[in-house]
């Protein structure tokens, strides 16, 4: 993402300092300083190479070339270029981080808004492979009285714990 190419782009120049809340219905290019909050729900924010933001951001797309300190929520995509410094959490459907960018925070990849058609079932992964969060394992324990105690196994009478179902959330 470079400087937005749309006809309606607001620019905040290098010498401008804004403290407070910014909101708008056009793309925004910030090369100055902003402290506070930026709300551009249906538009893009580009932080220029001289831009320094201490703000929580909510926009459609966010591209960072300068410094941004705060949480960033994008309904579509966040891009951190090689000159970017971002300290804060990211919430977006897609992210791109170039080699050389500095990022400190957590990433939360959002799913697309639900459609009217049902989503396909989650693909099954081998046990021990984690990609989407915690796994829940349901098991059946055979009571000690139902098995012959062979002296092997757990100290509770040799009962075994077979895994009968693996669910991934």
DSSP letters along 64-92, please? ESSEEES-EEEEEEEEE-TT-EEES-EEE
pLDDT of 8 reads 80
Query: Is 127 contained in some domain?
Result: no
| Cα distances (Å, whole numbers) of residue 149 to 44, 153, 160 | 68, 9, 11
Query: Is 122 contained in some domain?
Result: no
Lowest-confidence pick of 12-21, 59-68, 117-126, 137-146: 137-146
Query: Is 26 contained in some domain?
Result: yes
Phi, psi dihedrals of residue 75, rounded to the nearest 5°: -70, -20
Q: Is the pLDDT of residue 34 over 70?
A: yes
Question: Please, which residues have CB within 8 angstroms of residue 41's CB and are 6 or more apart in sequence?
Answer: 58, 59, 60, 75
Which tops the pLDDT comparison, 143 or 29? 29
Q: Are residues 33 and 83 in the same domain?
A: yes
* Domain of 63, in residue numbers: 9-109
pLDDT of 95 reads 96
Query: Is 4 contained in some domain?
Result: no
What domain count does the chain have?
2
Residues linked to residue 39 through DSSP beta bridges, in sequence order: 23, 58
Q: Are residues 148 and 91 in the same domain?
A: no
Query: Is 119 contained in some domain?
Result: no
Q: Is the pLDDT of residue 165 over 80?
A: no
For residue 142, what is the enclosing H or E element? none
Residue-wise pLDDT for 128-142, tens only, equals 444 444 444 444 444
Q: Are residues 139 and 93 in the same domain?
A: no
Residue-wise pLDDT for 78-114, tens only, equals 999 999 999 999 999 999 999 999 999 999 998 876 5
Q: Is the pLDDT of residue 149 over 60?
A: no
Q: Which pair of structure tokens corresponds to residue 75?
A: 């309904």
- For the whole model, what pTM was predicted? 0.64
Query: Is 99 contained in some domain?
Result: yes
Radius of gyration for the alpha carbons in the chain, expressed in angstroms and rounded: 25
């Amino acid at each position: 993402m470079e400087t937005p190419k749309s006809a309606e782009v607001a620019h905040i120049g290098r010498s401008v300092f804004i403290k407070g809340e910014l909101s708008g219905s056009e793309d925004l290019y910030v090369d100055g300083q902003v402290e506070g909050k930026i709300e551009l729900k249906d538009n893009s924010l580009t932080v220029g190479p001289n831009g320094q933001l201490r703000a929580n951001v909510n926009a459609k797309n966010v591209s960072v070339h300068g410094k941004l300190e705060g949480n960033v929520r994008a309904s579509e995509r966040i891009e951190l270029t090689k000159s970017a410094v971002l300290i804060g959490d990211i919430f977006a459907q897609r992210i791109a981080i170039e080699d050389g960018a500095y990022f400190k925070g957590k990433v939360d990849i959002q799913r697309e808004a639900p459609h009217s058609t049902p989503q396909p079932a989650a693909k099954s992964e081998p046990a021990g492979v984690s990609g989407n969060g915690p796994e829940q394992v349901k098991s059946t324990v055979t009571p000690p009285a139902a098995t012959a105690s062979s002296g092997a196994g757990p100290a509770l009478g040799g009962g075994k714990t077979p895994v009968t179902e693996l669910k991934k959330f």
